[in-house]
Amino acid sequence: MPGYQTIDACYTLGEHHYVIRSLLDQQQFADPQGLAAAAGISSAQWPLFGLVWPSARILADAMQHMAIDGLRILEVGCGLALASLVLHGRSGNITASDCHPLAGSFLEENLRLNQLPAMEYQVGNWKVTCPELGKFDLIIASDVLYDRELPELLALFIDAHAASPVSVIILDPDRGNRQHFRRAMVNLGFVVTMVPAERFQRSGESYRGHYVNCYRT
């Protein structure tokens, strides 16, 4: 990626290995075309999409065993889309979405690195309507509740793209906005349960978080 330092790392999920190209660190910022300003993304937030966060690894691991036959699936705020890559490798009907201008380019690189065919990607901006996305039977995300304004925006976005019935799985590393999201989803007619996530990653690193599981008929 011109203007950025990147690194390729291998992530082992069960019996499968995924090579993921990510930004080197959180200091990577280059915006000669003014894309950050146009998207309303600060220089501090800009690199966050391009890192493989612990929640992304745990959600991707869980997607190895998720029942997906016949489901149209959406990953929102996908970042580097590790969970989407896992589902795509299982021949799932998966669409990855993110508002970051570079997310699609990194996805193309990571599909190539893992010798996977093209995958559906759509820009998903929670602050505007995205009718081209359509409706989905399963909606997933990881570590997307990091700002106070996001729970309400995410809930409304999910509501707009939820089929009937729909299941929603959000993995949150206990950032503090989870209860706000739960209330917003309940107000939209969802049944919501919260389940503690695995306490350790496959690397052995500790992890603290919860799955927010939502369902609506």
Sequence ranges of the domains in the chain: 6-216
Distance CA 79, CA 113 (A): 17
CATH of domain 6-216: 3.40.50.150
d(CA 90, CA 92): 5
Task: Please check whether residue 142 is in contact with residue 125, taking contact to mean a CB–CB distance below 8 angstroms.
Answer: no
Using CA atoms, how far apart are residues 142 and 71, in angstroms rounded to an integer? 19
Residue 95 CA to residue 88 CA, distance in Å, equals 9
CB-CB contact of 161 with 139 (8 Å): yes
Per-residue pLDDT of the chain (217 residues; tens, 9 = 90+): 678 999 999 999 888 999 999 999 999 998 888 888 888 888 999 999 999 999 999 999 999 999 999 999 999 999 999 999 999 999 999 999 999 999 999 999 999 999 999 999 999 889 888 888 999 999 999 999 999 999 999 999 999 999 999 999 999 999 989 999 999 999 999 999 999 998 877 767 799 999 999 999 9
Whole-model pTM: value is: 0.95
